[in-house]
């Protein structure tokens, strides 16, 4: 429950020389009127009269604005703001109106003379609850009062602009300098720039309805005529403006989502291409799953091609970091790898050229990429293996439990050491085998609620069990990724890419 805000002591009428003082030992009388009998005389809710406004000093205006901001942000249902919420009329003599009803909508009124024009009558939302109203006489006050709980802004297009903010907005506008409509729309543009996520209603006179239509074209949700305004119309207009703004925002997010999906599809085609295995007896399967809370693919990439001599080349890599820049770099490395492989490069020579590509294309010197490359002989019984800071592949076969290929000669990641070398190791595969290449996202997930990670040993045991259960190809990869996610207790933090090549006699 909010802590009540102490109210300033009201000055008795006796101290002001307006009425005799009450007896010290007599309690407050229910019949006694409060020190003020008109809402405008209440120092907590008083709106300045046009003649008084010229007499106020800058310090007094600043103090009143500060007090109003403090009251509104500290306790939303205090008596000082209740008068503005309920729109108390001028003939009420109670001075204050107690209300504890929750407020759903908040309106910010920007008008240079909020006390001289009763343009904000009693306002109720669709549920019958009072709409909270804040008032600002200029854009400087509006910026202070524009907090996250404001849903709609009611801007008087006739607002005078003594503050620098509208002048700056007017400077950006290419007006003709006549001091009329251009200045009004400049103020509106400034408000729209100040509050891009808020609904905005423009207020104008009946004789200037065309200006209201222009305000809608500039970006306001609707416009209202001051002479025809009443509480019911204004309440309906506020609700409409808020819902229209929400609809526009949702439509914009949907369009942005479609654009991201298109970008994602283009990146996916670059990162996860169709393998070139025509004429090869090897079977290919792959699976990719982006990490948690990322709309775009990360930096994982892979490729498989068969060269004219019958050798099958497979590669999987991972650019450090996540985002479009890393994904774009992964696409460049994958395309470069395919081009270099089809050109006849292999092993250390190929990886050295890839490192040059990375060094020229990366945005920062700290970016690097890990990579695993294998070249399988035309007879399918042996392969060459190069590791650049990447986990070693896993191989399994009939009667042979899953195991990791040797990784003793693992070289550094691409982009870390200038002039580095990556030795090529020869490994025996046998007549029938399954070779799985993967990124570190598959082995860095947690096991249970502790900090223990699956690791390569845990992954090997998992794949052994799944091979024993007869899983192969896509089914094996799907079961592996799903079990890793289940052990992690949800989506993995890093992207996961897995490639599986099978050879059957």
pLDDT digits (tens, 9 = 90+) for 68-83: 434 444 444 334 433 4
**Token pair 């399954």: residue:** 434
Residues forming beta bridges with residue 202, ordered by sequence position: 155, 223
3-state helix, strand, coil in the chain (%, to 5): 35, 20, 45
Find the mean pLDDT for residues 445-454: 85
What integer is the mean pLDDT of 393-413? Answer: 92
Query: Do the beta carbons of residue 131 and residue 85 sit within 8 Å?
Result: yes
Does the pLDDT of residue 212 top 50, yes or no?
A: yes
Calculate the CA 450 to chain-centre distance. Answer: 30
Give the model's pLDDT for residue 119.
56
Which range of 23-37, 89-103, 141-155, 394-408 scores highest in mean pLDDT? It is 394-408
Specify the 3-state DSSP secondary structure of 203.
strand
Rounded percentage of the chain residues whose pLDDT exceeds 70:
69
> Rounded CA gap, 160 and 169, in Å?
13
**pLDDT above 80: residue 193:** yes
- Residue 294: pLDDT band (50, 70, 90) is low
Minimal CA–CA distance to 472: which of 304, 287, 285?
A: 285
197 vs 462: CA distance, rounded Å: 49
Residue 374 has pLDDT above 80, yes or no: yes
> Is there a contact between 95 and 42 (Cβ–Cβ < 8 Å)?
yes
Beta pairing partners, 110: 136, 155
Confidence bin at 9 (pLDDT 50/70/90): very low
pLDDT tens figures, 331-365: 999 999 999 999 999 999 999 999 999 999 998 99
The most confident of the ranges 196-200, 373-377, 465-469 is 373-377
Mean pLDDT of 112-125: 59
The Cα 348–Cα 362 span in angstroms is: 21
CA atoms within 13 Å, Cβ hemisphere of 260:
12
Q: Token digits for 241?
A: 């403006």
On the question of pLDDT at 409 being above 70, the answer is: yes
The whole-number pLDDT of residue 390 equals 96
Q: Is the pLDDT of residue 287 over 70?
A: yes
pLDDT of residue 121: 58
What mean pLDDT, rounded, does the chain reach? 75
Q: What is the pLDDT of residues 141-177, one digit of tens each?
A: 888 888 888 889 888 887 755 444 444 444 444 443 3
* Centroid of chain to Cα 237: 29
Q: Which of 245, 192, 202, 195 is nearest to 222 (CA)?
A: 202
Residue 104 to residues 84, 98, 124, 321, Cα–Cα distance (Å): 15, 17, 10, 42
Angle in degrees, 0-180, between the axes of helices 324-342 and 231-271, rounded to the nearest 10: 20
What is the structure's pLDDT at 126? 62
3-state secondary structure of 56: coil
Q: In 22-178, where do the E strands start and end?
A: 106-110, 132-136, 152-156
Most confident listed range (52-66, 243-257, 416-430): 416-430
DSSP string across 293-339: T-SS--SEEEEEEE-TTS-EEEEEEEESS-SHHHHHHHHHHHHHHHH
């Amino acid at each position: 429950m909010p802590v009540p805000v102490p109210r300033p002591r009201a000055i008795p009428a006796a101290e002001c020389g307006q009425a005799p003082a009450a007896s010290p030992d007599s309690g407050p009388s229910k019949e006694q009127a409060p020190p003020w009998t008109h809402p405008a005389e209440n120092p907590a809710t008083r709106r300045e009269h046009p003649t008084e406004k010229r007499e106020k000093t800058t310090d007094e205006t600043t103090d009143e604005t500060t007090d109003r901001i403090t009251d509104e942000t500290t306790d939303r249902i205090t008596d000082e703001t209740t008068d503005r919420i309920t729109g108390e009329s001028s003939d009420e003599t109670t001075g204050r109106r107690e209300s504890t009803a929750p407020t759903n909508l908040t309106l910010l009124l920007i008008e240079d003379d909020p006390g001289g024009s009763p343009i904000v009558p009693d306002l109720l939302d669709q549920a019958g609850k009072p709409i909270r109203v804040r008032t600002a006489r200029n854009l400087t006050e509006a910026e202070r009062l524009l907090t996250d709980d404001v849903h709609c802004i009611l801007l008087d297009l006739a607002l005078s602009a003594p503050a620098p903010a509208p002048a700056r907005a007017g400077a950006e506008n290419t007006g003709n300098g006549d001091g009329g409509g251009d200045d009004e729309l400049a103020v509106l543009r400034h408000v729209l720039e100040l509050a891009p996520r808020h609904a905005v209603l423009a207020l104008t006179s009946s004789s200037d309805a065309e200006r209201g239509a222009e305000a809608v074209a500039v970006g306001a949700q609707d416009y209202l005529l001051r002479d025809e305004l009443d509480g019911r119309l204004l309440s309906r207009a506020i609700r409409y403006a808020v819902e229209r703004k929400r609809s526009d925002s949702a439509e914009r997010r949907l369009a942005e989502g479609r654009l991201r999906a298109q970008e994602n599809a283009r990146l996916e085609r670059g990162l996860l291409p169709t393998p070139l295995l025509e004429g090869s007896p090897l079977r290919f399967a792959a699976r990719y799953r982006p990490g948690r809370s990322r709309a775009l693919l990360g930096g994982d990439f892979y490729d498989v091609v068969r060269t004219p001599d019958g050798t099958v080349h497979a590669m999987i890599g991972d650019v450090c970091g996540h985002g479009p820049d890393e994904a774009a770099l992964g696409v460049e490395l994958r395309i470069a790898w395919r081009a270099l492989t089809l050109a006849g490069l292999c092993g250390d020579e190929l990886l050295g050229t890839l490192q040059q590509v990375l060094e020229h294309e990366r945005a920062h010197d700290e970016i690097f990429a890990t990579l695993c490359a294998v070249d399988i002989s035309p007879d399918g019984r042996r392969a060459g293996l190069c590791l650049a800071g990447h986990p070693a592949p896993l191989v399994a076969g009939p009667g042979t439990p899953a195991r990791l290929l040797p990784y003793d000669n693992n070289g550094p990641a691409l982009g870390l050491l200038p002039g580095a070398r990556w030795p090529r190791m020869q490994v025996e595969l046998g007549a029938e085998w399954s070779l799985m290449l993967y990124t570190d996202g598959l082995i860095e997930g947690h096991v249970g609620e502790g900090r223990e990670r699956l690791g390569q040993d845990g992954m090997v045991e998992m794949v052994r069990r799944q091979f024993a259960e007869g899983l192969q190809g896509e089914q094996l990869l799907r079961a592996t990724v799903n079990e890793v996610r289940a052990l992690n207790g949800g989506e993995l933090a890093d992207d996961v890419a897995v490639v599986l090549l099978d050879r059957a006699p």
